[in-house]
Structure 1
Amino acid sequence: MATPSNITGLGVILGTTDPEPLIEWYRAALEPLGARWEEHLLVIGQQTIIGFNQRDDIADSATEPGRHMINITVRDIRAAEKHLNAMGVTWVRPVEDTGGGWFFSTVVDPVGNYLQILQGPDTP
């Protein structure tokens, strides 16, 4: 029998020179899809958060945006696509059926990070 995992959550912290515009963008992009703002974090799912950190030791924009990719799995990627299009996001990879019931897409956030929106065959 497998031992239960000791891991209870996952968090991503996005460093930026100016967090407010980035926070506003992520809230506008993800709250309509089901994320919620709690105190100073965007809660994406059970035990999963995106945080934001003001930093003065980084560039204003991501120099290698594909190095770290935030992946969000959704129930209805076409609804997410419609919402993101209404926001006027920049698509790096438009929604694509990659086979086997999987759909992938990638948008770029205001500082150049990549956010992937995925839908799988067994997305709960």
Structure 2
Amino acid sequence: MAAPGNINGLGIILGSTDPEPLIDWYRAALEPLGARWEGHMLVVGQQAIIGFDRRDDVAEKAAEPGRHLVNIMVRDIRAAEKHFNSLGVTWVRPVEDTGGGWFFSTLLDPDGNYLQVLQGPGTP
């Protein structure tokens, strides 16, 4: 077992039969919120990335979009909601106050994956 505090980052790779439109969508969706493109990945937080990979072993659309959820924490979910609406996203779960200072929402990316946008209590 690794020593406590040994993990220093987190990443997810989204496999796609056609990653270029997926990359374009994620950049348009997340760069205005503070993400930045570096090389071949989107940096979404301190030591947190979303990468993209061309795959021939996946379907064009996610068969079970709830199996893997990409979660993005934001400081101002209402500003993020306004931005996503300007892009014409498809909401699976519109922004909802779930109590205790938590706000959740879920939308679809072009490959049918779920992107959840959250704001928690005391979000800095």
Q: Distance in 2 between matches of 1:57 and 1:95?
A: 33
In the alignment, which residue of structure 2 is the partner of 1:104? 104
Alpha-carbon distance in 2 for matches of 1:122, 1:26: 26
Give the Å deviation of 1:82.
0.1
Please name the residue that 2:23 is paired with. 23
Give the corresponding residue for 2:121.
121
Q: Which residue of 2 aligns with 1:49?
A: 49
Residue 90 of structure 2 corresponds to 90
Deviation >3 Å, runs of 4+: none
Gaps of 5+ in 2: none
| Corresponding residue SS for 2:118 | strand
- Please state whether the residue corresponding to 1:12 is helix, strand or coil: strand
CA positional deviation for 1:4: 4.5
CA deviation after TM superposition for structure 1 residue 50, in Å:
0.1
Quick one: which amino acid aligns to residue 38 of structure 1? E
Partner residue in 2 for 1:78: 78
Q: Distance in 2 between matches of 1:18 and 1:60?
A: 8
Deviation of the 1:8 alpha carbon:
0.6
Shift of 1:113: 0.2
Q: Give the deviation of 1:40 after TM superposition.
A: 0.3
- Sequence identity percentage: 78
With the length of structure 2 as denominator, give the TM-score of the two structures: 0.97
Deviation at 1:123, TM superposition (A): 1.2
Matched with 2:64 is 64
Q: Deviations over 1:33-55 (max 9, x none)?
A: 00000000000000000000000
CA deviation after TM superposition for structure 1 residue 56, in Å: 0.6
Distance 2:71 2:123 in 1: 13
3-state SS of paired residue (1:61): coil
Q: Which runs of 5+ in 1 are unaligned?
A: none
